[in-house]
Amino acid sequence: MTTGERIAKLRLEHGYSQPKLAEKMSVSQSTVAMWESNKRNVSNQDLVRLSKLFNVSTDYLLGNTNKKHYYDLTEQERIDLGKLADRMLEGTTNEAEADFWGEPSTQEQKNNLRAAILTALEINKTQAKKDFTPKKYRNKDNKSNN
């Protein structure tokens, strides 16, 4: 995905029209259109301003990474957390299942429980990355987002 495509995607995700983004960036609407169509390069100053406006790293805007933030989970981390959630649920015995509100749990209830556990694990992992990643490894343009 090009820088222009990323700008257009983020603009739409934030609900901005091209004129609204132009107003927020203090540039013309045609400048935004040229950025999005890759007909004009974004200046370093505007790149930093866009990253702050959209709360993403400049590396993400430039296409150097697909992670919007240094603390975003990688695909491997998500897989590992899914395996951990599965291991946690494997600990349930038939006796424990029978005591799930007095009735055997349905597959839907098991899926909901797995989703809740996985969500909690992802939130905690993300928070740990925010709290414990040394500052020298954080993206410099996202210091205000920590």
pLDDT tens per residue, the chain (146 residues)? 899 999 999 999 999 999 999 999 999 999 999 999 999 999 999 999 999 999 898 989 999 888 777 777 788 888 998 998 888 887 665 555 555 666 777 778 888 888 999 899 988 888 888 888 777 767 554 444 43
Residue spans of the domains in the chain: they are 3-62, 75-140
Burial readout 93-116 (b: 16 or more C-beta within 10 A, e: otherwise): eeeeeeeeeeeebeeeeeeebeee
User: Does the domain formed by 3-62 have CATH 1.10.260.40?
Assistant: yes
What pLDDT is attached to residue 10? 96
- Sign of torsion over alpha carbons 8, 10, 13, 17: negative
What pLDDT is attached to residue 142? 44
